[in-house]
Structure formats: structure tokens, C-alpha cells
A and B are shown apart, each in its own frame.
Chain A
Amino acid sequence: GQNIDQPTEMTATEGAIVQINCTYQTSGFNGLFWYQQHAGEAPTFLSYNVLDGLEEKGRFSSFLSRSKGYSYLLLKELQMKDSASYLCAVRGGGRILTGGGNKLTFGTGTQLKVEL
């Protein structure tokens, strides 16, 4: 199975940088995803890491350390519209015999509030 931990809430200032951490314990690992979800809307894909290191995409970067079971999402030049929930999700660890080898397990999400 999977166990995923991320902070419940964070607050940051417009224009600043924020780092959202995610730790996981898993019986199988096949990649880590970050999704953004605004209130009342669908989760939208932000980033994907399967190898150790940093993936950069514009104002968003995501880091993975498989040996430490650790990832973070880095948001630069924060904007008010970045206020949302950020979901860490780990793929793998499901029961392979029942087709769950690529199952995506989500954390509870980190609610980010960006203030002026």
C-alpha cells in the first residue's frame, strides 16, 4: 500500500517562493505526480517525476529523491491565482494481480493561500 504525507495548509506572499513537501512510503513506485486543484474544479496536471532530480517547467519545479521517499513542488513568483490545493500523488503499489500496478494514490492535498 501507500502512505503519503503533505502539510495541510500553507500561506505565502505574492511574488515570493514557496516549497510544498511530500513524503511517501510505498510498496511499489512508478512515478510521482503533482496536481493543482482550485476549489470546485478538477485537478490539473502540473508535473511528473520518475527519476531523482529536479524537473523545471516555467514557474513550477518538482524534485524527487526516491531513496528518501521525498518530493517537493517549488512555486516561484507567486500570483494570487496560485491559491489552490496542491495534490501529491504516487503511482504504483497497487495489487498487480488485480490490475493495480499503475494505481495513482493521492495525498490529502496542501491548501496554499497567496496573500498580498
Chain B
Amino acid sequence: EAGVVQSPRYKIIEKKQPVAFWCNPISGHNTLYWYLQNLGQGPELLIRYENEEAVDDSQLPKDRFSAERLKGVDSTLKIQPAELGDSAVYLCASSLGDSDEQFFGPGTRLTVL
């Protein structure tokens, strides 16, 4: 069974440019998470979806970050415009429900120059 798929794996952009990350969760998983992980730190939750509904986006910087999960399966996370401090790994995870084990994707490593 395929795990959580993310693309791209790596992205280098200049500051003020837009960028988007894509995530395909494990089939049948209703809950999807986006995390940000800085070097030497643990993942920090940005947003959680239950099907297509964003049920916890309290940590998402809404001035520049946006996310969607239109059909309750794949999700995209967008940053516009990107800032130098956004350089990090963006992890996607999914679970059957919000009380179940989370499975993580390999992440997208973003570098903002």
C-alpha cells in the first residue's frame, strides 16, 4: 500500500515568489495534516482537515499561507509571497481519524533565497 505522497521533494525559490506543495494521503484516511519542521525542531501543526473541512487552522499564518482539500482527498498548501523565514520542511500526514496514528509523508524541503 502506498504511503503519503508529497511533491515536490525539494523547492528553491526567491523571496516574494509564490510556492505550492501537494499531498496525496493514504487511501481512506479522512484526516489530513500539514506540519512545518525547522532544522533541529519537531514538527509544528499548521492545519488539520477532516475530509474537506479545515477543523484546526489556528496555527496557520493566514496572511500568506493558504490550504485547500477540495474533494476531501488531495491537498495543497500555498505560500504567497514567500519570506526567508519560511525555509523549512513541510510535512503532510494522514490518519483514519483524528484520534488514530498519523502517517507522515517524506516532506518538501523549501529554501527561500
Interface on A for B, CB 8 Å cutoff?
4, 8, 30, 33, 35, 40-45, 48, 87, 89, 91, 94-95, 98-100, 102-109
Cβ contact within 8 Å between B41 and A42: no
B18: min CB distance to chain A, Å: 25
- Dominant SS among interface residues on chain B: loop
Cβ contact within 8 Å between B106 and A42: yes
A24: min CB distance to chain B, Å: 12
Nearest-CB residue, chain B, relative to A4: B42
Cβ contact within 8 Å between B43 and A98: no
Interface string of B87-113 (1 = CB under 8 A from A): 000010000001101111111010000
CA distance A33 to B43 in the complex (A): 13
Cβ contact within 8 Å between B58 and A100: yes
Cβ contact within 8 Å between B107 and A42: yes
Number of interface residues of B (CB under 8 A): 25
Measured between beta carbons, the chain A residues less than 8 angstroms from B56 are 94, 98-100, 103
Interface assignment of B55: CB less than 8 Å from any CB of chain A: yes
Cβ contact within 8 Å between A87 and B42: yes
CA distance A87 to B43 in the complex (A): 9
Other 17 A-B pairs with CB < 8 A, given A94-B56, A98-B56, A102-B98: A42-B3, A42-B4, A43-B91, A45-B102, A45-B103, A87-B43, A91-B99, A94-B58, A95-B58, A98-B57, A99-B55, A103-B45, A104-B45, A106-B42, A108-B42, A109-B40, A109-B41
